[in-house]
Amino acid sequence: MKYSTLWLSLLAVCSAQAAEEPLAVGDYALQQSKPAKTERWRCKSCERDEGWFGEVGLSAGYANDDGATRFRNWVPSQQDSGMLGIFNADLQYRGEGSRYGSLEVKNLGMERFRLATEQGHYDGMRARLGYSESPFYWNSHGRSVYQPDESPLTQGSLAEFDKEVVRKKLTAGLAYTPKSPWRPYADFSHEKKEATLAYYQSSVPGIGSGPGLLPKPVDGSSTTLVKSGVSYLGEGWLVDLAYNGSLYRTDDTALYYGSVADPYANERAYEPDNNFHQLSLSGQYNWDRQSLTGRVLTSQATSNGSLTAFRNAPISQDDFHGEVSTLQADAKWVGRFGRDLTLRAGGEYRDRKDKSDEYAVVGKQRGKSDRTRSKADLAADYRLSRSVKLTTGYQYKADQREQADRQDTDEHTLFLKGRYRPAGALQLGGKLAWSTRDGSDWRHDSAAGNGSPTLRQFYLADRDRVELRGDLGYQFSEGMDARLEGWWARDDYKEPDIGRSEGKDYGLDLTLNQQFDDNLSGHLFSNLQWISSSQNHAYTGAPDWDPYSTAVRDEITTLGLGLTQKKAFDRDLELGLDYSFAYGRGKTDASKGYDYPDLTSKQHRLEGYALYQLTKQHSLRWDVRYEYFQDVDYLYTGEERNLGNLNQDYNGYFTAVSWLYKF
């Protein structure tokens, strides 16, 4: 076949013109198109900018606890009232390759603060170091004839002391992620506790028959925790071998207190030195939409304490050695069969052996606390439709306590749960559970039992329990949703000659969230709970034991609301406000005609902030906190002369202005 050279010449001319002139295709008008905005195509999270990133803040504020140190659990200032400075930092470092680092400073300048740093490589060695101090305050107006800065405690005039504890903790850790399935790790922490605790005593020598407080100074105790292990990650399975250790040490053996003439007249024991060691092996295996996890643990806890420090105790040996060994194994299996059915099965076994000394005190044999626990459970999930799911199950628990009044107890539980979650705005859920507990015959011999043929400890007694739970969720609109939860449970104890006869727990939870617009949101929550129990008692000194009963009822009410406003006053200003109210009352009635006074507590909390963005990097923040708290315990009412003002009634507040810098 022959090709004409004319057609080849025309094709060359057209190709040359196409290369020199823009292409024009009528309807699409490509000659009018603009360049694509490719800046949005970038993956910002994939960018590897190196350097430090984060935020630092410097604050100046004022706090006043109204003379009640309890307020400092929320605002841990270093003094009752006055100015304070606070420094915060949350920084991250990204280096070359997988190099990273972090630095955290939280509330430096307050009594409760934390310092932490971490450095390393994501795919290599990582190390972290931290230090923190955490106080907890009870009351600063307790009174005692003994002062905690003395040793031994010697009677003097009544004076106030602070009941508080401060924990100082140093932490360190190492982890290594090599390019292999092995994953070794190690953690370490050392904590020192400095505290002044207190014993309540019905009478204290030197102040008559009235009650009193005995301060307990704790200044030389420390706890060291060690954890190390190695994991191996296979294809569809993993295994982990770990060690956990705890060492508790104290410088004190006994707390002595008495008169000036005999300061060693009375004594109380401190917690002895103790060690805890645990070795665990755990693993998981996955196959065909099924998984099996298991764990085996063995541990030993030991303690050693000197008995020669207690001159008033009739001891038969100089030291007491305590030892408890525990062996535990548990496993859990989960299997999915199709899209609708899921089965679960699990089991647990735990054996605890008490090998502590039995004859440390002359004429008394210490009872052992050996205990064996077994547990098994079965459950099934079945999806009836895309919106309805049912779960049913059975659980069995068996306990054996060698030295208890009842050696064996068995508990059976059946439950049924349902969930209705359609595509619409409504969600419903519920649970019904029933359990029963019984066991072996009761024994009341003097060697192992309590000697009372009618006493039933609540954790050993026969019991039937019924529990109902339900929840309702509804989304009224795109910006408004609510959730209501309720529960009711009743415990019925059979043959409660002496002991608990009935227990109830029921309540309601309500939450409401509202997004008014793009910048304004709010929430509301409330909780109502009632807990009650009935118990039968007896006077052992009366010829017929003179039985009587008491009914205890606790009521708890919690209410709260919050608002957040962004772009307030059409500026880069964010406002936030949270308020909560809590009220509790404990009531005890007795069948003999005497009703105990109520125990009450009331709390109002208000917290607000304002955050103003000055520039992209600089911002100012103002915080304010207010708390009103009041409680009344009749145990302390009328005993202020001996005990001090242990019932609290205060108004505490805190405010601070912060400068924040982001980079």
Residue pLDDT, tens place only, 490-549: 999 987 678 899 999 999 999 999 999 999 999 999 999 999 999 998 877 777 777 889
Calpha distance 531→374 (Å, rounded): 30
Contacts of 273 (CB under 8 A, 6+ apart): 248, 249, 250, 303, 304, 305
- With vertex at residue 389, the alpha carbon angle to CA 387 and CA 391, rounded to the nearest 5 degrees, is 170
Q: What is the largest CA-CA distance in the chain?
A: 135
Give pLDDT tens digits for 69-97. 999 999 999 989 999 999 999 999 998 88
| 334 pLDDT above the threshold of 80 | yes
Per the CB < 8 A criterion, the answer to whether 191 and 222 are in contact is yes
pLDDT band (50, 70, 90) for residue 106: very high
| 22 pLDDT above the threshold of 50 | no
| 208 pLDDT above the threshold of 90 | no
Q: What is the pLDDT of residue 9?
A: 39
> Among 510, 552, 550, 549, which residue's Cα sits nearest to residue 531?
552
Q: What is the pLDDT of residue 47?
A: 57
Calpha distance 200→635 (Å, rounded): 10
Give pLDDT tens digits for 580-604. 999 999 999 988 777 789 999 999 9
Give pLDDT tens digits for 556-578. 999 999 999 999 999 999 999 99
| 485 pLDDT above the threshold of 60 | yes
> Among 286, 372, 370, which residue's Cα sits nearest to residue 329?
372
| 480 pLDDT above the threshold of 50 | yes
Q: What is the DSSP string of 398-440?
A: EEEETTSSS-EEEEEEEEEEEEE--SSSEEEEEEEEEEEEEES
Q: What is the pLDDT of residue 34?
A: 54
- With vertex at residue 422, the alpha carbon angle to CA 418 and CA 428, rounded to the nearest 5 degrees, is 40
| 13 pLDDT above the threshold of 50 | no
Residues linked to residue 424 through DSSP beta bridges, in sequence order: none
DSSP secondary structure code for residue 252 in this structure: -
Strand pairing of 455-456 and 498-515?
Answer: parallel
| 206 pLDDT above the threshold of 70 | no
Q: 3-class SS at 350?
A: strand
User: Which of 38-47, 403-412, 495-504 shows the lowest mean pLDDT across its residues?
Assistant: 38-47
- With vertex at residue 585, the alpha carbon angle to CA 582 and CA 586, rounded to the nearest 5 degrees, is 145
> Among 336, 423, 422, which residue's Cα sits nearest to residue 381?
336
Contacts of 354 (CB under 8 A, 6+ apart): 323, 324, 368, 369, 370
Contacts of 230 (CB under 8 A, 6+ apart): 182, 183, 184, 185, 240, 241
Complete edge-to-edge strand list for the sheet that includes strand 254-258 = 153-154, 254-258, 266-269
Give pLDDT tens digits for 295-318. 999 999 999 988 888 887 888 888
Q: What is the pLDDT of residue 16?
A: 40
Average pLDDT, the chain: 89
> Among 260, 168, 259, 164, which residue's Cα sits nearest to residue 217?
164
Q: What is the pLDDT of residue 378?
A: 98
- H or E element in which residue 18 lies: helix 5-20
User: Which of 121-125, 209-213, 240-244 shows the lowest mean pLDDT across its residues?
Assistant: 209-213
Residues linked to residue 342 through DSSP beta bridges, in sequence order: 336, 381
Give pLDDT tens digits for 243-294. 999 999 998 889 998 888 888 888 889 999 999 999 999 999 999 999 999 9
Q: What is the pLDDT of residue 310?
A: 86
Q: What is the pLDDT of residue 4?
A: 41
Cis peptide bond prior to 22, omega within 30° of 0: no
The pair of structure tokens assigned to 188 is 């370490």
User: Which of 9-23, 151-165, 365-379, 645-659 shows the lowest mean pLDDT across its residues?
Assistant: 9-23
Q: What is the pLDDT of residue 446?
A: 45
> Among 426, 430, 422, 428, which residue's Cα sits nearest to residue 391?
430
Strand pairing of 153-154 and 254-258?
Answer: parallel
| 363 pLDDT above the threshold of 50 | yes
User: Which of 161-170, 537-546, 607-616 shows the lowest mean pLDDT across its residues?
Assistant: 537-546
Strand pairing of 182-201 and 153-154?
Answer: unpaired
Give pLDDT tens digits for 425-462. 999 999 999 999 999 998 876 455 555 677 888 899 99
Q: What is the pLDDT of residue 547?
A: 83
- CA distances to 237, 239, 661 from 280, in Å: 17, 11, 46
pLDDT band (50, 70, 90) for residue 29: very low
- With vertex at residue 560, the alpha carbon angle to CA 557 and CA 562, rounded to the nearest 5 degrees, is 175
Per the CB < 8 A criterion, the answer to whether 283 and 294 are in contact is yes
Q: What is the pLDDT of residue 5?
A: 39
Give pLDDT tens digits for 618-627. 999 999 999 9
Give pLDDT tens digits for 640-651. 888 999 999 999
| 654 pLDDT above the threshold of 50 | yes
pLDDT band (50, 70, 90) for residue 48: low
Contacts of 435 (CB under 8 A, 6+ apart): 411, 412, 413, 414, 463, 464, 465
DSSP secondary structure code for residue 35 in this structure: P
Rounded-to-5 percentages of helix, strand, coil across the chain? 5, 65, 30
Mean pLDDT (whole number) for 102-117: 97
Q: What are the residue ranges spanned by the domains of the chain?
A: 87-236
| 228 pLDDT above the threshold of 70 | yes
Residues linked to residue 525 through DSSP beta bridges, in sequence order: 511, 560
Mean pLDDT (whole number) for 395-409: 94
Q: Which amino acid is at 432?
A: L
